[in-house]
Chains A and B, each alone.
Chain A
Amino acid sequence: MKRVYLDYSATTPLEPKVLEAMTPYFTEMFGNANSMHSFGQEGAYAVDESRRKIAELLNVKPTEIYFTSGGTEADNWALKGGASAYKGKGKHIITSKIEHAAILSSCAQLEQEGYRVTYLPVDKGGIVHPEYLEQAIDDETSIVSIMLANNEIGSIQPIKELAAIAHRRGAIFHTDAVQAMGSIPVDIADLGVDMMSFSGHKFYGPKGIGVLYIKGGIKPDKLIAGGHQERTRRGGTTNVPAVVGISKALELALNHLDENYRHVKAVRDHFVSEVERRIPHVIYNGDREKRLPQNANFAFEFIEGESLLLRLDLSGIACSSGSACSSGSLEPSHVLLATGLPVERAHGSIRFSFGKNTTMEDVDYVLDCLCKTVNDLRNLSPLYAEFTHNGGKL
């Protein structure tokens, strides 16, 4: 059976050149990067070079790059470490309603500890407007954290404007760039952010490695106490192969950013226009313009998302309903609800995310299966029957 992977926002396959770069650090050059002998120094050198390369690619200083176990740890560190370090200014945090669980769960913990958290709303396209932040920020606001682009609907936030507002009121600004990095141009200096999280496996790098960029002079308290790794700010034996991997993956992603962007956007745009042409009663969730090139998210009326996802899986097609992390729960997506989508339509929403390996043939196969599957499930749906009995009126 043909298999088509359209879940690149969940994770991507490792690029063979990245695996090639990583492999020697598992077996031959296995030393602990903290050891003084030559085995250790081989690892330390690779980590230094990787850090230098990432800093150069992002036009920041190597001392501003901190390796973590992934995007979730980077988000936890930025938020909890930032809130704790800057609580002298005040115990008010501002974020948005559409953040990843790594941020929202960290905020929930901070609320337990007596912090006040404001969750900014979004418009129906999933965009946080700068005026929402202007209204919410006050003299006690110590940290503002807004994602660069959303994982479910791909909406790209006006980070530069948001960061400027935070700075005018003396707050520091963090952005979760996990979905954006490697997909769209990210200019840290121009955005003016103080901290930024990203993760290797979203741009064809390995899982289990992420970066927290921390601007010089910004000092969040440490999240993980341990040895002297990461300039004593993040303990734990350095994952040398993964560090080499994320550096190589970022290099490849940024060096091919334009061509990958164009390709991914072309297959996505073809998919979106064909779904809208061939399937009636669909809602394209998210903003049409301010959107990541890899993301498409549709609500298919009268059917439920999980059954659509599993029927497509039986045809070899991988996509996602809600976000992958919450698919064990029965709650509809908090992101779609924040955009004002009614609960029943949020239940029927599916994310398709495209990658550099997706072909037009893949998309055409998916479109055929999708049309048939949506039709089959609608024929099973009492809501659709009711709709047709009413002469097609909702």
Chain B
Amino acid sequence: MYNERVIKEFSNPQNVGEMKDANAVGTVGNATCGDIMKIFMKINENDVIEDVSFQTFGCAAAIATSSVATTMIKGKTVDEALKITNKQVIDELGGLPPQKLHCSVLAEEAIKEAINNYLKEYKNKKN
């Protein structure tokens, strides 16, 4: 039911794990729905995402979209990352089964959540 790219990303995900010195962290989803994604970012003074990692509880689609989304925002600015849509994540993976499309929303939401937390906390402190 999944294409080869999804299976590859799922079986060997990129940017996995916790980041101790992250300055942007976002968690979305809940265990009852069956998926949770936590994303960690290190954003530098020029608002560029220098490093990114994730932890995901969920199905193969949730893990694959988490992985590919992190690769898509690494090195991007905060503004660029905020523009990433779940559609782009799905396209990057070459498509998802219809009943799994909602999993890709998780990654988009996690990115936005982390960046919003960063903008609230760190930016405010700097000013």
The chain A residues found within 8 Å of chain B, CB to CB, are 302-304, 306-307, 310-311, 314, 328-330, 332, 343-344, 347, 379-383, 385
For B16, give the chain A residue with the smallest CB separation. Answer: A380
A354–B18 alpha-carbon span in the complex (Å): 38
Asked if A385 meets B99 with Cβ closer than 8 Å, knowing A314-B11, A347-B34, A379-B16, the reply is no
A383 touches B57 (CB 8 A): yes
Asked if A307 meets B99 with Cβ closer than 8 Å, knowing A347-B31, A379-B17, A382-B36, the reply is no
> Which residues of chain B in 6-34 are interfacial with respect to chain A, using CB atoms and an 8 Å cutoff?
7, 10-11, 13, 16-18, 27, 31-32, 34
| B51 at interface, CB cutoff 8 A | no
Asked if B82 is at the interface (CB within 8 A of a chain A CB), the reply is no
Is residue B59 contacting chain A, with contact meaning CB distance below 8 A? yes
Contact with A along B55-80 (1 / 0, CB 8 A): 11111101100000000000000000
A349 CB, nearest partner CB in chain B, Å: 12
Residues of B within 8 Å of A302, CB to CB, are: 57
| Size category, B interface | 20 to 34
B112 within 8 A of A: no
A382–B7 touching, CB < 8 Å: no
Residues of B whose CB lies within 8 Å of any CB of A are 2, 7, 10-11, 13, 16-18, 27, 31-32, 34-38, 55-60, 62-63, 99
Across the two chains, which residue of chain A brings its CB closest to B27?
Answer: A382
Task: List chain B residues, Cβ under 8 A from A328.
Answer: 99
**Complex Cα distance A382/B30, Å?**
11
User: Residues of B contacting A306 with CB < 8 Å?
Assistant: 59-60
Q: How far is the CB of A389 from chain B (nearest CB, A)?
A: 9
Q: Could you tell me the distance in whole angstroms from the C-beta of A37 to the nearest C-beta in chain B?
A: 48
Q: Is the pair B59, A304 in contact by a Cβ cutoff of 8 Å?
A: yes
A304 touches B27 (CB 8 A): no
A343-B11 in contact (CB<8A): no
A381 x B56 contact (CB < 8 A): yes
Q: How far is the CB of A129 from chain B (nearest CB, A)?
A: 28
Task: Determine whether the beta carbon of A380 is less than 8 Å from that of B10.
Answer: no
Nearest A residue (CB) for B57: A381
Distance between Cα atoms of A383 and B62 in the complex (Å): 15
Q: Which residue of B lies closest to A347 (CB)?
A: B34
Identify which of B10, B27, B32, B38 contacts A343 (C-beta below 8 A).
Answer: B32
Q: In the assembly, what is the distance between CA of A309 and CA of B57, in Å?
A: 14
A383 contact set on B, CB distance < 8 A = 31, 36, 57
Q: Give min CB distance, B35 to chain A, whole Å.
A: 7
- A residues less than 8 Å from B56 (CB atoms): 380-382
- The answer to whether B99 touches A329 (Cβ under 8 A) is yes
Cα–Cα, bound, A385→B16 (Å): 12
Q: Do A330 and B34 form a contact, CB below 8 Å, given A310-B10, A385-B18?
A: yes
CB distance from A286 to the nearest CB of B (A): 21
Separation of A328 and B55 alpha carbons in the complex (Å): 25
Contact of A307 among B38, B55, B59 (CB under 8 A): B59
**For A314, A343, A380, which residue has the most chain B Cβ atoms within 10 angstroms?**
A380
